[in-house]
Amino acid sequence: PQASLPEPSVIPEQGWHVGHFFYRFRRDQLDAPLSAEVCQQFCAALAPSDELMPERLASYWTSGHEADFGVIVMDPHPGKVNAIHQALLAPGIGRWIEPAWSFTSVSEVSEYVPSVESYRERLIRQGDAPDSPELAAKVSAYERRLPMMNRNRLQPDIPDWPAACFYPMNKSRVPGANWFTEPFSLRNQMMAEHAQSGMAFAGKVSQLISVGVGLDDWEWMVTLWGRNPEYLKEIVYKMRFDEASAKYGEFGPFYVGYRADGREILDHCRMTG
Amino acid sequence: PQASLPEPSVIPEQGWHVGHFFYRFRRDQLDAPLSAEVCQQFCAALAPSDELMPERLASYWTSGHEADFGVIVMDPHPGKVNAIHQALLAPGIGRWIEPAWSFTSVSEVSEYVPSVESYRERLIRQGDAPDSPELAAKVSAYERRLPMMNRNRLQPDIPDWPAACFYPMNKSRVPGANWFTEPFSLRNQMMAEHAQSGMAFAGKVSQLISVGVGLDDWEWMVTLWGRNPEYLKEIVYKMRFDEASAKYGEFGPFYVGYRADGREILDHCRMTG
Amino acid sequence: PQASLPEPSVIPEQGWHVGHFFYRFRRDQLDAPLSAEVCQQFCAALAPSDELMPERLASYWTSGHEADFGVIVMDPHPGKVNAIHQALLAPGIGRWIEPAWSFTSVSEVSEYVPSVESYRERLIRQGDAPDSPELAAKVSAYERRLPMMNRNRLQPDIPDWPAACFYPMNKSRVPGANWFTEPFSLRNQMMAEHAQSGMAFAGKVSQLISVGVGLDDWEWMVTLWGRNPEYLKEIVYKMRFDEASAKYGEFGPFYVGYRADGREILDHCRMTG
Amino acid sequence: PQASLPEPSVIPEQGWHVGHFFYRFRRDQLDAPLSAEVCQQFCAALAPSDELMPERLASYWTSGHEADFGVIVMDPHPGKVNAIHQALLAPGIGRWIEPAWSFTSVSEVSEYVPSVESYRERLIRQGDAPDSPELAAKVSAYERRLPMMNRNRLQPDIPDWPAACFYPMNKSRVPGANWFTEPFSLRNQMMAEHAQSGMAFAGKVSQLISVGVGLDDWEWMVTLWGRNPEYLKEIVYKMRFDEASAKYGEFGPFYVGYRADGREILDHCRMTG
Amino acid sequence: PQASLPEPSVIPEQGWHVGHFFYRFRRDQLDAPLSAEVCQQFCAALAPSDELMPERLASYWTSGHEADFGVIVMDPHPGKVNAIHQALLAPGIGRWIEPAWSFTSVSEVSEYVPSVESYRERLIRQGDAPDSPELAAKVSAYERRLPMMNRNRLQPDIPDWPAACFYPMNKSRVPGANWFTEPFSLRNQMMAEHAQSGMAFAGKVSQLISVGVGLDDWEWMVTLWGRNPEYLKEIVYKMRFDEASAKYGEFGPFYVGYRADGREILDHCRMTG
């Protein structure tokens, strides 16, 4: 079968590499604001030239002492994603910046996204008559929507909203609550319920679930973009009661950020003169 | 439905952003007391000008090695809350200060605060006759008190007492003690019992429960202000036996502080000449 | 009821503030022994003038890499306790000292210390005849001893023995071993058994149990003073089989120290020329 | 029996010492790119002279903030493995490099690799007729393959693929999921199922399982080399549902790396001028 | 009974103080190899003059990034043990050395070492006839061996083998696997089985189990000396299936080291010119 294998490559056939990076400014040797040159280098690292610009990049100032700012980056090439991180730590500006946390993942279409056929079956289970024109219309609409939905999962656009929160998660495997020993049908049903909860926040919260399995210390990375930070609190609180989260979710560190370009981050953090 | 959505904003419709920040002075390069200029900058960071002053701000020296001092800040705008943190780390004073811990949350009216109607039902369950004038009087009093109580939850005043303690908490989700899979009625009953425990400390302890779900690593942040530090010990010990805490409470780091302005903190920490 | 409340104060009505502090010397920039002046400052911090001297203070050099030395301090005023910590970190000596761990607690008379009446009842349960003169004699002796025993709990003297160990603890709240959901009678019985274990070490080990609930990250702090370090090992090992510890005890970091004044600590740690 | 014991030695009779090392560049004092001389020393440490060259050595730039690069090294002599680590920290380059994580293990043939006889028995259990020529052919082929397979386990070649991931693991011993109290037959069966899962990735992923028991903090170290990073994600996700992992696997930190020599690492990390 | 108590002392009546210390060289400010003078001080700290020499001392270079080298020290006086640690951190060499981990314990004869009488009873339970001369001979041999075996437990000689591993452990107290609530007879039986496992490695592995209860963060410290590092792996792996370990053992960090004097450590770590 080796003959039919694709050429070795760092670019996934499906999905993009995703990097989340959080940083603190080093204050312990900082006697004065950063020089104009260093500020310039910082801003350039967050707004690279066309050639170095990854497919997606957004920056945020972040709340609390764990981090001063964060960046989310997406690109087919892992080197292009990590280059943003390396630019922020390059000689010059790098001396004044300390990495606080990061997460390495890839975007994907989850196995719980229903195919057209399984979507049809679910509607029937939920009461639609198998031969009804209503069912046919719904299925047909889903079939038309699915490619764009999947593109949004693999290559999501970053909404122009002011707030975002970021956190990694695992599904638990403790005795009595082991996600990975549950049958697919049950996991699928719980994920559908979970997706339903999220739909109540359409227009208020937009999400990206990327996969860290095999790449970083948690299994998934959750990115929530919010029209208002209170929706971030509300959706996470509400979803915590879904069985998929209540019983099986294990959550890592949370970061909340507010959209800002390099100059705004420097200003908020009083790094400018 | 998007048409009816509010404009994107960082200001919650209900509640304020709350920041708890704890710091240590950096001693490893400190050969002499802080200069008068730096002391001045420190005091100004804790007592900003009217324009920068958030709605609430109180500072404390803290006991033990984890932190030398702490600040609690509240405001509708998250940038105004975090600006206090950034002012303490700004070039000049920032070189001598190391963040030790922080927590990002928002104030809210919890879902367990009874509405007027559910308050009435609870009294009846506890034995009041449905048509009795006593019941009507109690309900009417509650109805009058509720708006002010809710304002105290959303925009609390900081009492003028000398001691305070601060700690974050989760509700557990381990098999056998999973808060989030319990029905609302049971959770509500446990929270009412818990509130009852707290009432025994009226006049001795005042509290703020703010929400970190989706914003920081713990689900709630507890702030207790005490007329005497021994009441802080007593209320936390007593409440630990309530089922809501005994069975479901998971607690993070505790900080105990004593109210002090910038100058008093500097003096206590021997940072002045 | 507010009218009858005591004035706001930082001084508990019962018990003293207790501080345990552990430190390492910073070696990474130390090219030579500490100067005579700095050594002098160190010794003075551990032997303050009468005015600054807290009610109790004892210092120890400690074994292992976590800490070079430790101090236990007790006083009615929390500022006086923490002032010892701040004096060790004050400009001059503070540059060479790094805090390693600390614990903030207050002394108290535990709810499991039997009252005269419950002591009498316990003796009867254990076989004493209710009307016997033996019982009356025992009860009367207990009644005479109790005030002094309680004073020893609230304001303990530090014995003049060479060894001591220090560790914090919690009572567990995991499903299947939840101390806080057990009835008082059962907890009381287990604590009585535990106290009995300790009595076998009379003259060999002396103890202080202070309370950190609401003040620091663990619920209790245990201080054991030993006539010989092997008794510390023996008592902790023996008590670990008591149900109160075996089933419910959760233990934090352990520090073992040997009584030493400032000069002896400096000598042992080779900080003097 | 002592007479028949081999001479004391640091070289195992079977298997090689394996070292995994991960590092960050120290940015906090780096005002300019590393000097040409230091860059040269770095590259030499990763490509030592014949005499110092261990049997296997491969280097990777790594994704995220935990590490900038990593190295895997194998040799019969533990000093030769650790010498690579010491060369990277030697005076000159060592000042600019901070170790982030490492793992010490040895290669082995696991007790779950079937012998020829147990391979034959397994095939019979799976339906092969004991006297069939098909069975004989399969067994004979296995017998021919086994020495080379075992050599690949003890002295594996590193495939020329661009991606790799590295993580340590334990088998759990919690009540209800205790690997070490299961009978060998059950463990063997689960490991066979697990191996089966892996075979689906032939040509896409190649693995080394080395043993850390008694040598480092985890029981096993997993090295996966991938033709494409997405196969790394896929195989780890798929295998997590195998009972051996789902119920018993405990996983440590994950590092993902991309094959690079010293110069490429320096360039990616912007350490060159 | 106080009259009959021994004088206060830091020297145990039985057993020696044991110190395990692990260190890293500080590379972040090291521009050149250590000076000859500092190297000399390092070697002298590991080979002190007769007066300062503790009863036992052995040093090792260690594998991996956690530590560069380690020392095990034993003496009746705790100050003499800790003095080795302090000599390594003394002004001069101390600037270049960072403690990585340590453990404080004392040697003892475990309560599970059978007395002559219980040894006899065990043999009878295992089938020896109570009046047989074989039994008498075995018991008599045990009686002759026991004092020397106990001396080896209290004051062990360090074998002249090249490899060693070091790790601390606890016995678990979780619901369902609580060592400390098991009866002595069952614990004794499991420890006998465990000792039996170890005997298979006679001549290959030698061990010291010292006690940290009340003195450090783990209950026991295990030191294994190996004729070959692969025996260390083998014995720990084999013993992990014993019920005493499989069900009740909790293990801390593992360090593996190779016997080396001061000069050899400096050379391996490239600290010499």
pLDDT tens, residue by residue, C188-246: 999 999 999 999 999 999 999 999 999 999 999 999 999 999 999 999 999 999 999 99
pLDDT (0 to 100) of residue D165: 98
Which chains does D contact via 3+ CB–CB distances below 8 A? A, E
Instruction: Please give the Cα distance from E153 to D266 (Å, whole number).
Output: 52
Q: How far apart are CA E123 and CA E134, in angstroms?
A: 10
Q: How confident is the model at residue A1 (pLDDT cuts 50, 70, 90)?
A: very low
**% chain C with pLDDT above 70:** 99
- Please name which of C218, C212, C224, C271 lies closest in space to residue C24, comparing C-alpha atoms: C271
| pLDDT at site A41 | 98
Q: Which runs of consecutive H residues, i.e. helices, occur in A47-183?
A: 78-88, 116-125, 133-154
Residue A273: pLDDT above 80? no
Residue D65, domain member (yes or no): yes
Instruction: Please report, as a single letter, which amino acid is at residue C210.
Output: S
Which residues are registered as beta bridge partners of B229? Answer: none
pLDDT surpasses 90 at C2? no
Reduced to 3 states (helix: H, G, I; strand: E, B; else coil), residue B58 is strand
Phi, psi angles (nearest 5°) of residue A251: -115, 140
Strand partners, B25: B97
Domain membership of residue E200 (yes or no) is no
Domain that holds residue E51: 2-107+259-268
Average pLDDT value over all residues in chain E? 96
% residues pLDDT > 70 (chain B): 99
pLDDT at B1: 46
pLDDT band at D267, cuts 50/70/90?
very high
Q: Averaged over C266-270, what is the pLDDT?
A: 98
User: Cβ distance A202 to A98 under 8 Å?
Assistant: no
Q: Is the pLDDT of residue C76 over 70?
A: yes
Q: Respond yes or no: is residue D167 known to be catalytic.
A: yes
Of B31, B236, B270, Cβ closest to residue C86: B270
- Give me the interface pTM, i.e. the ipTM: 0.96
Residue D1, pLDDT score? 46
Residues of C in contact with E13 (CB under 8 A): 228, 230
Task: Report CB contact under 8 Å: A61, B83.
Answer: no
Residue of C nearest to B272 (CA): C91
Which one of A26, A27, A236, A272 would you mutate to disrupt binding with B, by most B Cβ within 10 Å of its Cβ? A27
Residues of chain A with Cβ-Cβ distance to B213 below 8 Å are 233, 236-237, 240
Q: Tell me: pLDDT of D3 over 90.
A: no
What is the average pLDDT score of chain A?
96
Residue segments in chain E with a per-residue pLDDT below the cut of 50: 1
Distance of alpha carbon D237 from alpha carbon A110, whole angstroms: 12
D46 lies in some domain: yes
- Residue D99 belongs to some domain of the structure: yes
Among A242-246, B24-28, C27-31, D222-226, which stretch is predicted with the lowest mean pLDDT?
A: C27-31
Average pLDDT on A123-128 reads 92
Contact D12 E228 (CB under 8 A): yes
Q: Are E6 and C231 in contact (CB under 8 A)?
A: no
- Residue B184: inside a domain: no
Express the helix, strand and coil content of chain D in percent, nearest 5 each. Answer: 35, 25, 35
The span from the CA of C172 to the CA of C192, in Å, is 18
**Candidate from E235, E243, E256 with C-beta closest to D104:** E256
Averaged pLDDT for residues D93-117? 96
Q: Is A190 strand, coil or helix? A: helix
**Distance separating alpha carbons of residues C239 and A265, to the nearest angstrom:** 56
Task: Please give the sequence-ordered ranges of beta strands (E in DSSP) within E76-213, or none if there are none.
Answer: 97-107, 163-171, 173-174, 177-178, 205-211
D34-85 pLDDT, tens digit each = 999 999 999 999 999 999 999 999 999 999 999 999 999 999 999 999 999 9
| Phi-psi map region of C145: left, alpha, beta (phi>0 left; psi -120 to 50 alpha) | alpha
Please state, as a whole number, how many other Cβ atoms lie within 10 Å of the Cβ of residue C115: 11
Residue C49 belongs to some domain of the structure: yes
Beta bridge partners of A69: A23, A61
- Is the pLDDT at B3 greater than 90? The verdict is no
Residues of C in contact with B207 (CB under 8 A): none
Query: Could C230 and E86 be called an inter-chain contact, meaning their C-beta atoms sit closer than 8 Å?
Result: no
* C-beta of residue A87 within 8 angstroms of C-beta of residue A48: yes
Nearest to C79 among B32, B33, B268 (CB): B268
Compute the distance between CA of residue D34 and CA of residue D266 in angstroms, rounded to an integer: 9
Domain count, chain B: 1
Chain D partners of E69 at a C-beta cutoff of 8 Å? Answer: none
CATH number at residue E30: 3.30.70.1030
* Token output for B52: 């920068």
Say if residue D77 is exposed, middle or buried (CB neighbours under 10 Å; 0-12, 13-18, 19+). middle
Q: How confident is the model at residue D2 (pLDDT cuts 50, 70, 90)?
A: low
Taking all residues of chain B, what is their mean pLDDT, rounded to a whole number? 96
pLDDT single digits (tens) E235-270: 999 999 999 999 999 999 999 999 999 999 999 999
Structure tokens at B26: 């950096």
Res E3: pLDDT = 61
**Predicted confidence (pLDDT) at residue B273 exceeds the cutoff of 80:** no
Residue E188 has a pLDDT of: 95
- Beta-carbon count within 10 A of E29 CB: 11
Report the b/e string of D248-268 with b at 16+ CB within 10 A. bbbbbbbbbbbbbebebbbeb
For position A3, what pLDDT does the model report? 61
- Taking only the tens place, the pLDDT of each residue in B141-174 is 999 999 999 999 999 999 999 999 999 999 999 9
Averaged pLDDT, B192-211: 95
CA distance D30 to D34: 8
Please list every residue in chain D whose beta carbon sits closer than 8 Å to the beta carbon of residue E234: 214
Strand-strand pairing, D173-174 and D177-178: antiparallel
When CB atoms are compared, the residue of B102, B174, B180 closest to A64 is: B102
Query: Per the CB < 8 Å rule, is C232 touching E215?
Result: yes
- The answer as to whether A92 is a domain residue is yes
Q: How far, in Å, CA of C76 to CA of C18, rounded?
A: 9
The answer to whether residues D46 and D57 touch, using CB atoms and an 8 Å cutoff, is yes
Q: Residue C4 has what pLDDT?
A: 82
- Tell whether C53 is covered by a domain: yes
pLDDT at B2 over 60: no
Do D228 and A78 make contact, defined as CB atoms within 8 angstroms?
no
User: pLDDT grade, residue D249 (50/70/90)?
Assistant: very high
Element (H, E) at C239: helix C229-239
